[in-house]
Amino acid sequence: MGQVVGAEEFYAGHGAPARFQISPGACPEGLDALLAGRGYRGHSPISLQVAPTADVQERAAADGLRVRLDDRRTRAWFETWDAVQGGDAGGEWDLLGRVTLPCAYACAMVGDDVVAVGRAVADTGWAGVFGMATLPAARGKGAGRDVLAALAGWAAAQQADRMYLQVERDNILALRLYERTGFRELCGYHYRTAGA
């Protein structure tokens, strides 16, 4: 309880509501119930998923859209991601520029237009998949699968034999894509924020 109060004081000192990530096995037992009892709102259930890179390559392989891979962020990649995700564009752009590990930024193309994006970061045999986003007009047509296939090919070239990603549990289309391409849930987590 003392750590919860300390966290609340820290957040209050920064003018923000206290927020906790509740990860089974990593958080103290009973923390979720304690926070719920204190009026914290539960939200943003996330699934952490993993897959062998070879499985993703095999299952996602397609001869669909042309996918361009860059080793650093590009304006075209970012503008497509931002059109889908939104948020603090300047902060996100700067954050991506600070990543020092090997990266691949994938752009699925229709002609000269980017319709779907994703990125991967390789580290010690793993490739994390981030920033998957497809423009609404291109959804359901294999663009996300093509991006994932390109990222899996890149991961294999980086000797990353396992891949991981995080996906919101209410994103049914993404969950279907990841399941079809070999990803399985390792664990889940959610958040609790004060001031429900």
Task: Confirm if 173 and 140 have CB atoms less than 8 A apart.
Answer: yes
The Cα 25–Cα 27 span in angstroms is 6
How sure is the predictor about 196, in pLDDT bands with cuts at 50, 70 and 90?
A: low
How sure is the predictor about 112, in pLDDT bands with cuts at 50, 70 and 90?
A: very high
Report pLDDT digits (tens) over 119-133: 999 999 999 999 999
Report pLDDT digits (tens) over 126-175: 999 999 999 999 998 899 999 999 999 999 999 999 999 999 999 999 99
CATH code matching the domain that covers 48-186, chosen among 3.30.70.100, 3.40.50.720, 3.40.630.30, 3.60.15.10: 3.40.630.30
pLDDT score of 188: 93
pLDDT of 177 above 90: yes
In the chain, domain spans: 2-46, 48-186
pLDDT score of 144: 95
Reading the block at residue 149, the tokens are 């296939």
The Cα 120–Cα 103 span in angstroms is 6
pLDDT score of 48: 96
* Three-class SS state of 8: helix
Report pLDDT digits (tens) over 48-63: 999 999 999 999 986 7
The DSSP letter of residue 111 is T
How sure is the predictor about 190, in pLDDT bands with cuts at 50, 70 and 90?
A: very high
Q: How far is CA 77 from the centre of its chain?
A: 15
The DSSP annotation for 125-189 comes to: TEEEEEEEEE-GGGTTTTHHHHHHHHHHHHHHHTT--EEEEEEETT-HHHHHHHHHTT-EEEEEE
Reading the block at residue 87, the tokens are 């948020």
Selection from 69, 92, 56 nearest residue 164 by Cα: 56
The DSSP annotation for 42-102 comes to: EEEEEEEEEEEHHHHHHHH--S-SEEEEESS--HHHHHHHHHHH-S-HHHHHHHHHT--S-
Report pLDDT digits (tens) over 17-43: 999 999 988 888 899 999 999 999 999
* Three-class SS state of 119: strand
